[in-house]
C-alpha cells in the first residue's frame, strides 16, 4: 500500500522534471537557432570583424553562447534521465535503480554546470 503511494509520487515528480527539462531545452534550442540565424555573413575578400565568435549571440554577453550550449546538453541528458527513471519506476529492481541513479547524477551535474 505504501509502496504504491511512493510510486505515484515518484511518477508525478518524474513527469514534472521531464516537462521542466523539455521547456529548458526548447528555450535553449530557440536561443541557439536565433544565434545561428544572426551569425556574421562574410564573403570573399571581407575580413572577419573584431571579436569574432563562431556563434554570435545578439543577446547577453560573451558567456551566453557557452551557457546556452551547456543548457541544451543538460536538457537532453536530463530528459533521458527522466526516461531512465520511468523505466526504473516500471521495473523497480536494484539493478535499474543503479542505472537510473547514475544517469540522474550525471544530469544533475550537467545542470549545475549550465
Q: Tell me: the pLDDT tens digits for 40-83? A: 666 677 777 776 666 777 788 888 888 999 999 999 999 999 99
- Which pLDDT belongs to residue 75? 98
Positive or negative, the CA dihedral 97, 102, 108, 114 is negative
Which of 91, 111, 95 has its CA nearest to residue 10? 91
Mean pLDDT of all residues in the chain? 89
Q: Where are the domains of the chain?
A: 22-39+55-114
- pLDDT of 31 > 80? The answer is yes
- Per-residue pLDDT band at 112 (split at 50, 70, 90): very high
- Which pLDDT belongs to residue 29? 96
- pLDDT of 35 > 80? The answer is yes
Beta-strand runs (E) in the chain: none
- For residue 22, count CB atoms less than 10 angstroms from its CB and return exposed for 0-12, middle for 13-18, buried for 19 or more: middle
- Which pLDDT belongs to residue 21? 97
Cβ atoms of 77 and 106 within 8 Å: the answer is yes
- Per-residue pLDDT band at 27 (split at 50, 70, 90): very high
Here the cell at position 8 is 505515484
- Which pLDDT belongs to residue 3? 80
Amino acid at each position: 500500500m505504501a509502496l504504491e503511494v511512493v510510486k505515484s509520487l515518484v511518477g508525478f515528480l518524474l513527469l514534472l522534471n521531464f516537462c521542466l527539462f523539455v521547456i529548458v531545452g526548447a528555450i535553449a534550442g530557440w536561443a541557439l537557432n536565433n544565434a545561428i540565424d544572426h551569425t556574421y555573413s562574410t564573403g570573399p575578400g571581407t575580413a572577419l570583424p573584431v571579436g569574432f565568435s563562431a556563434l554570435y549571440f545578439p543577446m547577453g554577453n560573451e558567456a551566453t553562447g557557452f551557457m546556452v550550449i551547456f543548457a541544451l546538453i543538460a536538457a537532453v541528458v536530463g530528459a533521458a534521465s527522466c526516461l531512465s527513471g520511468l523505466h526504473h519506476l516500471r521495473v523497480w529492481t536494484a539493478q535499474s535503480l543503479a542505472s537510473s541513479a547514475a544517469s540522474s547524477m550525471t544530469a544533475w551535474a550537467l545542470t549545475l554546470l549550465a
